[in-house]
Amino acid sequence: MSSLDALQDELALAIRVADAADAMSLPYFEKRTFTLSHKADHSEVTEADRNTETVITDLLANARPRHAIYGEEHGTIGDADSTWTWVIDPIDGTSNFVRGVPVWATLIALVHREHGPLLGVVSAPAMGRRWWGGHGLGAFANGRPIRVSDVESVHEAQVSVTFNKGWDEAGRTEDLVRLQQSAYRARGYGDFWQHMLVAEGAVDIAVDAIGLAPYDNAAVQAVVEAAGGTHTDRFGRRDYTGNSAISTNGRLHSAVVGILGA
């Protein structure tokens, strides 16, 4: 595993890359000037997604030529045999981006082949918010140290749940409803934001949609873990490549996984 000093250097690089990504993506959002198309899976993609990922990959490839880079739009580039892979989502929340909802972000993570995501940056320029954190480095929101909550009961917890067809197909939608009904308060913040709220201690449980990809999870997992929380798939496995994601303050994690029937 990389030393803390080395990880700090990588985090500084990721933050610089996030600055460049924000400079590319935010004008598209503010001016509403972008083309929209759909992928084979019917998900939306814009030129802002593609151009932002190009900026990110160009900077990372130049700075870390011996690392691999895996992104939503361009796939894998760089050294595919490297122990280290940058996993990026240029715009997480493209549907929000397209509709003018400011809840979208660039996700940048550095993943170790054996240890998984070790650092992450989540930058949401339209919200004026940025979160980052790394193994042994702590977690931060706009430069302020953050930490998960110490809530110990689901009945006292604030929960964010994202319903989708994937949960219906898994036969677990009723379990999501049961979780909401068991909690003190339920909301649906969605995408990266719900997980960052867990990292901040503002929300205690975040349950994402089923159908996620590695680039949806990697940076989020790194920040949540750096803030003292737990991030797994719906079966309780620490696996950023899984197609589902649950973030909690750690104290509630086994109870949530149990409620969801895993």
Calpha distance 2→85 (Å, rounded): 13
Domain count, the chain: 2
Instruction: Give the residue-averaged pLDDT of 107-112.
Output: 98
Helix (H) or strand (E) holding 58: helix 47-63
Show contacts of 64-70: CB within 8 Å, 24+ apart.
Answer: 64/13, 70/214, 70/215
Q: How confident is the model at residue 31 (pLDDT cuts 50, 70, 90)?
A: confident
CATH of residue 179: 3.40.190.80
Percent of the chain clearing pLDDT 90 (strictly above): 84
Residues 159 and 248 in one domain: yes
End-to-end Cα separation, the chain, in angstroms: 31
Q: Which of 91, 110, 145 is the last residue of a domain?
A: 145
pLDDT of res. 4: 67
Is-contact 187 158, C-beta < 8 A? yes
pLDDT of res. 176: 96
pLDDT tens digit sequence for 166-189: 999 999 999 999 999 999 999 999
Nearest Cα residue to 122 out of 221, 209, 238, 248: 221
Residues 225 and 199 in one domain: yes
Helix (H) or strand (E) holding 203: none
Residues 48 and 14 in one domain: yes
Q: Which of 111, 145, 179 is the last residue of a domain?
A: 145
pLDDT tens digit sequence for 201-259: 999 999 999 999 999 999 999 999 999 999 999 999 999 999 999 999 999 999 999 99
| Domain range for 44 | 4-145
CATH of residue 93: 3.30.540.10
pLDDT of res. 74: 79
CB count within 10 Å of CB 8 equals 15
pLDDT at 123 over 80: yes
Residues 133 and 204 in one domain: no
Residues 76 and 101 in one domain: yes
Residues 31 and 50 in one domain: yes
Residues 169 and 129 in one domain: no
Residues 20 and 106 in one domain: yes
Q: Which of 114, 145, 176 is the last residue of a domain?
A: 145
Q: How confident is the model at residue 42 (pLDDT cuts 50, 70, 90)?
A: very low
pLDDT of res. 40: 47
